[in-house]
Amino acid sequence: MAKAAPRTVLITGCSSGIGLCMAVQLARDPGRRFHVIATMRDLRKKDKLEAAAGDTLNQTLTIQRLDVCSDESVAECVNSLPEKQLDVLVNNAGVGLIGPLETISIDTMKHIFETNFFGAIRMIKAVLPAMKQRQKGHIVVISSVMGLQGIPFNDVYAASKFAIEGFCESLAVQLLKFNIFISLVEPGPINTEFEMKLMEEVAKSQFPGVDATTVHSFKDIYLPASHEIFTTMGQSPEFVAKAVVNIIAKERPPFRYQTNPLYTPLVALKYADTSGELSVSAYYNLLFRFTRLFYISTSFLKCITCRCFRRQITPT
């Protein structure tokens, strides 16, 4: 029986984090089932990926420039594919943003949407005609649990993820007619250098013009709580990447996949009460009224998830 040709996988945002880990894991697949096109906006940042790729570089992994915010860049990259053929598109490129709403300009908000929402749509529009023609394809979008549940001081970022979730949920129904699948991967907190640096930087900010209550809530309540959540529930980029690799390898991939089972009960609050009161009041009470209970809860999670007491959970 002839061996199947490797599937071509294009990944955006591969200079670091999840994108880099996904590209390397797929390129190192023991069965050599994939050829990876790892892309990034700035090729001056490719050194880390090249080092991690090792002997897979220019074998099962190639690196290309791609700016998801540019129509021209997207077209150039997609047109460079042999016969414009792509089996799997992984929309990973994204940017984060936290802070009091009053300090965020409309231009900054537009930038977040340009990357997280319109960037993904640009890529999907570029590859969809060929996938439809071939009656085959898989589109993966790295979303977030914040595409399902809003979190304080993440207003704009959550909005961009809510938008891409709604877009994909609508499109997925149409694409089944063409045997094209969409998968929304929804990680919780991910421990990356970028996240830690972002929180350190905003902690030093003064936020002039913002009322004292909001500044106190953000700097003295939200940021310490966020750090606690990342410490307790945060996953590594390698872990999330492995979950995505497993989804890509499935013959019938799921539409939604949350990588962190510890976060699922928090998201479930939203769907347990259609009025929305349960999730909103629960978050408010834990964060602002019963803060001590919040830290007791995270300490309990640390205990029950300690490797001394449980088997390591791995994506399947």
Known binding positions for substrate? 144
CA torsion sign for 44, 45, 49, 54 is positive
Sequence ranges of the binding site for NADP(+): 13-41, 67, 161
Binding-site residues from annotation: 13-41, 67, 144, 161
Is 157 an active-site residue?
Answer: yes
Q: 124, 184 in Cβ contact below 8 A? A: no
Among 16, 69, 12, 10, CA closest to 40: 12
DSSP string for 88-150: EEEE-------S-GGG--HHHHHHHHIIIIIHHHHHHHHHHHHHHHHT-EEEEEE--GGGTS-
Instruction: Supply the DSSP string of 149-172, one letter for each residue.
Output: S--TT-HHHHHHHHHHHHHHHHHH
Edge to edge, what strands does the sheet with 137-142 contain? 61-65, 34-40, 7-11, 88-91, 137-142, 180-186, 256-258
CA of 131: how far to CAs of 47, 122, 230, in Å? Answer: 32, 15, 38
Indicate the burial class of 35 (C-beta count within 10 angstroms; 0-12, 13-18, 19 or more). buried
Among candidate residues 157, 257, 263, 283, the one labeled active-site is: 157
Cα–Cα distance for residue pair 92/250, rounded to 1 Å = 19
| 213: Cα separation from own chain's centroid | 31
Conformational region of residue 150, where left means phi above 0, alpha means psi within -120 to 50, and beta covers everything else:
beta
Instruction: Evaluate whether 142 touches 92 at the Cβ level (below 8 Å).
Output: yes
DSSP H helical ranges for 54-101: 71-79
Q: Which residues are catalytic?
A: 157
